Amino acid sequence: MNTSSIYNKRWFRVGSAISILVIGIAAMVILAATKEETNKKEATQRIRQVTTTPMLYADHTMQIHGNGSIESQQLLDLVCFVSGEVVYSRDDLKSGLFVKQGAILLKIDDREAQNRTLQARSSLINAIVSLIPELRGNAQNETYEKWNNYLEQLSMNNTPDLPLIADAQERIRVSMHNIFNQHATVRNTEITLDRHIIRAPFDGYLVNDGAIAGTWISPGHVAVSLINPFKLEIAVPLALSELELLSDDGLPTAIVTPSEDPNKHLIGILRRQNAHIDKRSQTVTIHIELSNPDLDPAFLPGNYMDIYIQGNRLQDVAVLPRDVIAPGPYIYTMEDSLLARYAVEIVASEGDSLLIARGDVAPGALVVTTLLQSPIIGMRIVPFDEESTADTTSF
């Protein structure tokens, strides 16, 4: 039979087309199966890379963090109690002037007050002079000597305390001569005279300009304001949960650090604690006292501070970053390059860290610190520096 005649047959052409189609479908099926097998093989080889940290248990002293502004323990307005012309003003009492304790800051014209004091002392002397003749005699010789000696001590510049009176008859005689009243009058005039001089009650700096010489000053007028920048304190509001973490051993210490310069610090002591809760913030204010003897500008009153207060000492706990703890709470660990999960007990928080009590997680266990998306218990994981072919895109 002629070959060309076979090719021209319809059944041959149809059969050839069907054969080619069958062979193509078979080839596609084989290729698809091979690709799926390859993908499965690649998927099984993907290993996630993670960072880890060992689980370390130890005793830990809590630090309660707070914030506050430094204030002086001594900020005082020196107010006048008398009126008159200012006859002396220390360097015109300019702001920033440093003064020592006891230094005279201001003098007010006291001539009138001095005259009243002299008049009162003179009246007291006259009263005693009128008393002494009545005490002459043998029976009252001792009393006479006592008051005669007191009269010798009296002067226009000095007024000693009255002698001790133990006898009722003597008290009556002294009272009849108005000596008690005259002595009290002298004391009052001396107090008023003293108020014409204003002295510095402590070492400090003037806050603002004060009264200058030649001005008239009245009772109630603020002569000058004084601040002590060496003795400081900070009011720190704490939540009730934080108060419970404070140390009960003596006076807790605190590290005080400027917010803008964490390299500097001073040590303070928790001296006082308010006995009421602030309604708006639901906090209790504690007061940290500290000193700045070198007058470091970073710790001047008004500066904002970070405060770390000594808390309770917790035994056998681990400190982990807050974002390592999964809701539950759980932590993930790496065991034989496989991901594991353990429940943990959080006993306290400290800033961005949580304190974990010793539990099922063994000391030295490698805690996964990488944030995993869709973690699967038992999946393969390796540290970042061990497997260069691991999957780093599936977290």
Q: Domain 81-109+196-220 carries which CATH code?
A: 2.40.50.100
CA–CA gap between residue 144 and residue 237 (Å, rounded): 67
Quote the pLDDT of residue 369. Answer: 87
163-211 pLDDT, tens digit each:
998 788 888 889 999 999 999 999 999 999 999 999 999 999 999 999 9
Quote the pLDDT of residue 25. Answer: 76
8-18 pLDDT, tens digit each:
666 666 666 67
Quote the pLDDT of residue 30. Answer: 72
Hey, where are the domains in the chain? 3-45, 49-59+315-383, 63-72+228-313, 81-109+196-220, 111-194
**Does this model's pTM top 0.75?**
no
* Residue count (the chain): 395
Sign of CA dihedral 196, 202, 206, 207: negative
> Can you tell me whether residue 221 is helix, strand or coil?
coil
Instruction: Give 213's DSSP letter.
Output: T
Q: Which two tokens stand for residue 308?
A: 């770390």
Greatest mean pLDDT among 150-164, 221-235, 317-331: 221-235
Burial 148-185 (b: 16+ CB within 10 A, else e): eebeeebeeeebeeeeebeeeebeebbeebbbeebbeb
pLDDT band at 126 (very low <50, low <70, confident <90, very high): very high
Q: Count the alpha carbons within 13 Å of 219 in the hemisphere toward its beta carbon.
A: 4
Q: Which two tokens stand for residue 361?
A: 């997680």
Residue of 268 and 351 predicted with greater confidence: 268
pLDDT exceeding 70 applies to what percent of the chain?
A: 87
Q: What is the mean pLDDT of residues 113-132?
A: 93
Q: Count the alpha carbons within 13 Å of 27 in the hemisphere toward its beta carbon.
A: 6
Quote the pLDDT of residue 327. Answer: 86
Quote the pLDDT of residue 140. Answer: 59
Instruction: Give 374's DSSP letter.
Output: S
Q: Chain-wide mean pLDDT for the chain? A: 85
- The fold of the 49-59+315-383 domain, in CATH, is 2.40.420
pLDDT band at 387 (very low <50, low <70, confident <90, very high): very low
Quote the pLDDT of residue 337. Answer: 87
Quote the pLDDT of residue 64. Answer: 87
Q: Which two tokens stand for residue 317?
A: 């706990």
By mean pLDDT, which of 146-155, 222-231, 290-299 is the weakest? 146-155
Question: Is the distance from CB of 98 to CB of 295 less than 8 angstroms?
Answer: no
Same-fold call for 49-59+315-383 versus 63-72+228-313: no
Which one is the CATH code of 63-72+228-313: 3.30.70.3000, 3.40.50.720, 3.90.1170.20, 2.40.30.170?
2.40.30.170
Residue of 166 and 302 predicted with greater confidence: 302
Residue with tokens 């006076």, as numbered in its chain: 251
> Can you tell me whether residue 91 is helix, strand or coil?
helix
53-87 pLDDT, tens digit each:
898 888 888 888 899 999 999 999 999 999 999 99
